A and B are shown apart, each in its own frame.
Chain A
Amino acid sequence: MDWGWISRNLDLIGGRVLEHMALSGPPIVIGFLLSIPFGYWASRSRIVRSVLLVIGNIVYTIPAIALIVFVPVVLGLAILDPVNLVIALTLYAIALMIRSAADAFAAVPRDVAASATAMGYSGWQRFFAVELPLAGPILLAGVRVVSVSTVSLASVGALTGIENLGSFFTDAFQRQFLTEALVGIVAVLLVAGLFDLILTAIGRALMPWNRREPTRRLVVPELTTA
């Protein structure tokens, strides 16, 4: 371990941390927001649910570097554009999040939704005032999983020349310099931890009734990719 290297390269490390956050933050937010209407739709209809989950599964089956290559080819962007990584990560985030969102809305008791309608709530009011808050805890659990996996996956972008914390891994390999790889892995875990803290804080602020979260018992074992 070469501690001197770390202190000499704090600027580089800080810069790459920021780049990593800039590349992985938007996909988490966009993926979360987009999966809500899809998840709600999926919770209403079993056919829609199966179709969306199958599509999500296929997207998740595509290895990360391949998806980063397909995005610009299909959309006509430059192959080495960082936007490709953001779009690819967003697709993964949606693919992973749709299942949680569908489960979250499906777990809202029908009686409660029906009571809201009976009390005169319109469709939109019922959605925002009743169903969304009740789905909140499971949505939060889902987005936390998405966040961790997005931050970790973003480092693959380094292989396509998009600079982020993953660049420490490719550099470390080329220079046979272990310290750099260790710095990279610790930094990725710290960014993931920071994002998780932010998400939990937002969850606590928006859902003060949710003291004991069910998140610890929720596992999403099926989907993982490199």
Chain B
Amino acid sequence: MIFVQALSWIFDGSHWVGVAGRDGNPAILQRLGETLQISVISIVIAVLIAVPLGVLIGHTGRGRTAAILASNVARGLPTLGLLSILILLIAVNAVPVAIVLVILGIPPMLAGAYAGVESVNRDTIDAARAVGLTEWQIVFRVELPLAASLLVGGLRAMTLQVIATTTVASAFAFGGLGIYLINGLSQNDFVQLVAGAILVTALCLVVDGLLAIIQRLALPRGVSRGRAASASPKKRSRASRRAAIVGTPPLQEGMQS
């Protein structure tokens, strides 16, 4: 059974250490490090661009259409195509890969940021304004804390997008964990191929799980107490979207208390 062989390939301690390439050493730790390094750098850059922009859009209500358009275009652009074009235009190294990761990471983060700020109850903001908070104070003390959960939701979607894209980038002379998939395919080494698939999937599931926990913790205490019974953070985003379509917030069963 190939799954068992792949697992024993992964749990072979000698496959984790050392330098990649020497005597066909997979050096999983090194590859994992490559993936994490470029992912973290790209995520930081994308956050620095997308969060201020998203908060601005959410706060002012302007530019929403443009943001939606950008995210739709980004969804339609084939990752592989974007990677090959930028690599051919720039160089075969990590720079074009990082640029692609930033480009693909921005839309989900932007969506999370503006959806988060937009989801804040208008009455709450008016109340904050009425008690004399400045616009900056409203952004930092009211909107951002209340938007935190959706912001982390955007971060979560972006992180997965970025890590998933690094696996594809392995096909273009970039290292990373995806390299076992690419090598497994080119060498017809199905054990390595399946082991690589397990490794990248495990990485994505672990990172997503961690961010899901952070997302839950990011909900301010007062808010979570009021909403915990009826909705998880994900559901809140759904509710605000549905309200945008139907016009009135949906009545939910089990809310009468």
Once bound together, how far apart are the Cα atoms of A145 and B73, in whole Å? Answer: 11
Name which of B10-18, B141-149, B178-186 contacts chain A: B178-186
A138 at the binding interface (Cβ < 8 Å): yes
Once bound together, how far apart are the Cα atoms of A15 and B18, in whole Å? Answer: 45
Contact A53 B234 (CB under 8 A): yes
Q: Report chain A residues within 8 Å CB of B9.
A: none
- Given contacts A66-B200, A107-B245, whether A170 and B171 have CB atoms under 8 Å apart is yes
Q: Report chain A residues within 8 Å CB of B127.
A: none
- Given contacts A63-B163, A148-B75, whether A173 and B88 have CB atoms under 8 Å apart is yes
Of all chain B residues, the one with the shortest Cβ separation from A183 is: B81
Q: Report chain B residues within 8 Å CB of A113.
A: none
Q: Report chain B residues within 8 Å CB of A223.
A: 157
Q: Report chain B residues within 8 Å CB of A166.
A: 78, 80-81
Q: Which of A57, A65, A177, A225 contacts B181 (CB 8 A)?
A: A65
- Assign chain A's interface to a size class: 35 or more
0 or 1 for each of B107-147: is its CB under 8 Å from A? (1 = yes): 11001100100000000000000000000000000000000
Q: Report chain B residues within 8 Å CB of A226.
A: 79, 104, 161, 164-165, 167-168
Once bound together, how far apart are the Cα atoms of A225 and B6, in whole Å? Answer: 24
Of all chain B residues, the one with the shortest Cβ separation from A137 is: B245
Q: Which of A159, A176, A216, A221 contacts B182 (CB 8 A)?
A: A159
Once bound together, how far apart are the Cα atoms of A143 and B4, in whole Å? Answer: 38
B82 at the binding interface (Cβ < 8 Å): yes
B72 at the binding interface (Cβ < 8 Å): yes
Q: Report chain A residues within 8 Å CB of B238.
A: 99, 103
Once bound together, how far apart are the Cα atoms of A225 and B200, in whole Å? Answer: 13
Contact A224 B75 (CB under 8 A): yes
Once bound together, how far apart are the Cα atoms of A66 and B196, in whole Å? Answer: 8
Q: Report chain A residues within 8 Å CB of B115.
A: 219, 221
If over half of A's interface residues share one DSSP class (helix, strand or loop), that class is named, otherwise mixed; here it is helix
- Assign chain B's interface to a size class: 35 or more
Q: Report chain B residues within 8 Å CB of A107.
A: 242, 245-246, 250
Name which of B20-28, B41-49, B201-209, B216-224 contacts chain A: B201-209
A133 at the binding interface (Cβ < 8 Å): no
Once bound together, how far apart are the Cα atoms of A223 and B164, in whole Å? Answer: 12
Contact B87 A173 (CB under 8 A): yes
Q: Report chain B residues within 8 Å CB of A50.
A: 232
B66 at the binding interface (Cβ < 8 Å): no
Q: Report chain A residues within 8 Å CB of B78.
A: 152-153, 155-156, 165-166, 169, 184-185, 188
Of all chain B residues, the one with the shortest Cβ separation from A63 is: B164
0 or 1 for each of B80-101: is its CB under 8 Å from A? (1 = yes): 1111110111000000000000
Q: How many A-B residue pairs lie within 8 Å, measured between CB atoms?
A: 187
0 or 1 for each of A129-160: is its CB under 8 Å from B? (1 = yes): 00000000010000001001101110110111
A182 at the binding interface (Cβ < 8 Å): yes
Of all chain A residues, the one with the shortest Cβ separation from B92 is: A173
Contact A185 B82 (CB under 8 A): yes
Quote the shortest CB–CB distance from B18 to chain A (angstroms): 24
Of all chain A residues, the one with the shortest Cβ separation from B81 is: A185
B32 at the binding interface (Cβ < 8 Å): no
Contact A225 B88 (CB under 8 A): no
B175 at the binding interface (Cβ < 8 Å): no
Q: Report chain B residues within 8 Å CB of A103.
A: 238, 241-242
- Given contacts A103-B242, A145-B75, A221-B157, whether A63 and B204 have CB atoms under 8 Å apart is yes
Interface centre among B3, B237, B245 (most CB of A within 10 A): B245
Near B by CB (< 8 A), chain A positions 161-204 give: 161, 165-166, 168-170, 172-173, 176-178, 181-182, 184-185, 188-189, 192
A29 at the binding interface (Cβ < 8 Å): no
Some 21 contacts from A to B, beta carbons below 8 A apart, are: A58-B205, A62-B201, A62-B205, A63-B201, A66-B196, A69-B181, A107-B246, A145-B72, A155-B78, A156-B168, A165-B78, A169-B84, A172-B88, A176-B88, A181-B85, A216-B68, A218-B244, A222-B237, A224-B74, A224-B104, A226-B164
Beyond the given A106-B242, A159-B185, please list 10 additional residue pairs across the A-B interface where CB-CB is below 8 A. A53-B234, A70-B194, A107-B245, A155-B78, A181-B88, A219-B68, A221-B108, A224-B157, A226-B79, A226-B168
